[in-house]
Chains A and B, each alone.
Chain A
Amino acid sequence: MKLHFFHLMPYRFLPDDFTEKHRSVWVDVDSNLFDPAKGHQIYNENLDELELASELGFDGICVNEHHQNAYGLMPSPNLMAASLARRTRDSALVVLGNSLALYNPPTRVAEEFAMLDCLSGGRLVAGFPVGTSMDTNFCYGQTPATLREKYQEAHDLVMQAWTRPEVFAFNGKYTQLRYVNIWPRPVQKPHPPVWIPGGGSIETWQWVAERDYMYSYLSYFGHQRGLNVMKGYWDEVERQGKEKNPYRAGFLQFIAVSESEAQAEKDYAEHAEYFYNRCLRVYPGFADAPGYRTMATVRAGLKAQFERQTQQAAAGALTWKNFVDQGYILAGSPESVAQQLEEAARALHVGHMMVLLQFGSMPPDLVRKNTELFAKEVMPRVRPVFDEYEDRWWIKPLPSEQRMRPQGSLEPAGTPAGGGP
Chain B
Amino acid sequence: MENQSVSLHDGECNVDLLQGGSGDPLLFLHGSGGVRRGPYLDLLAQKFTVYAPSHPGFGKSDGLEKVDDIIDLALFYHDLMDELGLASAHVLGHSLGGMLAAELAALCEHRVRRLVLTNPVGLWRDDEPVADFFSMTPNEYINHMLHDPDAPGMKELFATPGNPDEVMEQMYERLQAFSAAGKFLWPIPDKGLRRRIHRIKAPTLLIWGQSDRLVPPSYAEDFRSRIADSRVVIMAESAHVPMLEKPEEFVSLVTDFLNE
Contact = CB atoms under 8 A, between A and B. Distances in A.
Interface of A: 137-138, 141-146, 283-286, 289-291, 295, 298-299
B136 interface: yes
Contact of A290 (B137, B140, B179, B188): B179
Given A290-B177, A290-B179, A291-B175, 13 more contacts: A137-B186, A137-B187, A143-B183, A143-B186, A143-B187, A144-B182, A144-B186, A145-B64, A145-B182, A145-B183, A291-B179, A291-B182, A298-B172
B172 A290 contact: no
B36 interface: no
Nearest to A141: B187
Interface pairs A-B: 8 shortest CB-CB? A291-B179, A290-B178, A285-B135, A141-B187, A143-B186, A145-B183, A290-B179, A290-B175
Contacts of B172: 295, 298-299
Given A145-B64, A291-B175, A284 B137 contact: yes
Nearest to A299: B172
Nearest to A301: B168
A70 to B, nearest CB: 18
A291 B178 contact: yes
Interface in B179-222: 179-183, 186-188
A283 B137 CA distance: 9
Contact of B140 (A144, A285, A286, A291): A285
27 contacts: A137-B187, A141-B186, A141-B187, A141-B188, A143-B183, A143-B186, A143-B187, A144-B179, A144-B182, A145-B57, A145-B182, A145-B183, A145-B186, A283-B135, A285-B137, A285-B140, A289-B135, A289-B186, A290-B134, A290-B178, A290-B179, A290-B181, A291-B179, A291-B180, A295-B175, A295-B176, A299-B172
A298 B175 contact: yes
Contact-size category for B? 20 to 34
Interface string B99-137: 000000000000000000000000000000000001111
Contacts of B177: 290
Nearest to B178: A290
Contacts of B186: 137, 141-145, 289
Contact of B134 (A284, A289, A295): A289
A146 B182 CA distance: 9
A291 B64 CA distance: 12
B143 to A, nearest CB: 13
Nearest to B187: A141
A289 B181 CA distance: 12
Nearest to A139: B187
Nearest to A292: B179
Nearest to B174: A290
Contacts of B176: 295
B166 to A, nearest CB: 15
Given A290-B174, A299-B172, A146 B134 contact: no
Interface string B212-253: 000000000000000000000000000000000000000000
Of listed B136, B177, B183, residue having the most chain A CB within 10 A: B183
Contacts of B175: 290-291, 295, 298
Interface string B156-181: 00000000000000001011111111
Contacts of A144: 179, 182, 186
B11 to A, nearest CB: 22
A286 B135 CA distance: 6
Contacts of A286: 135
Nearest to B168: A304
Contacts of A141: 186-188
Nearest to B183: A145
Contacts of B182: 143-145, 289-291
B187 A146 contact: no
A134 to B, nearest CB: 10
Nearest to B32: A290
A290 B176 CA distance: 7
Contacts of A146: 183
Contacts of B183: 143, 145-146, 291
A52 B167 CA distance: 51
A283 B178 CA distance: 18
Contacts of B134: 289-290
A137 B187 CA distance: 8
B191 to A, nearest CB: 11
A267 B136 CA distance: 39
Contacts of B137: 284-285
Contacts of A145: 57, 64, 179-180, 182-183, 186
A393 to B, nearest CB: 33
Contacts of B64: 145
A141 to B, nearest CB: 4
A68 to B, nearest CB: 13
Contacts of A283: 135
B136 to A, nearest CB: 6
A299 B171 CA distance: 10
B136 A285 contact: yes
Contacts of B181: 290
A251 to B, nearest CB: 28
A143 B191 CA distance: 13
A307 to B, nearest CB: 10
Of listed A143, A146, A299, residue having the most chain B CB within 10 A: A143
Nearest to A283: B135
A289 B187 CA distance: 11
Of listed A141, A144, A283, A286, residue having the most chain B CB within 10 A: A144
Contacts of A298: 172, 175
Nearest to A295: B176
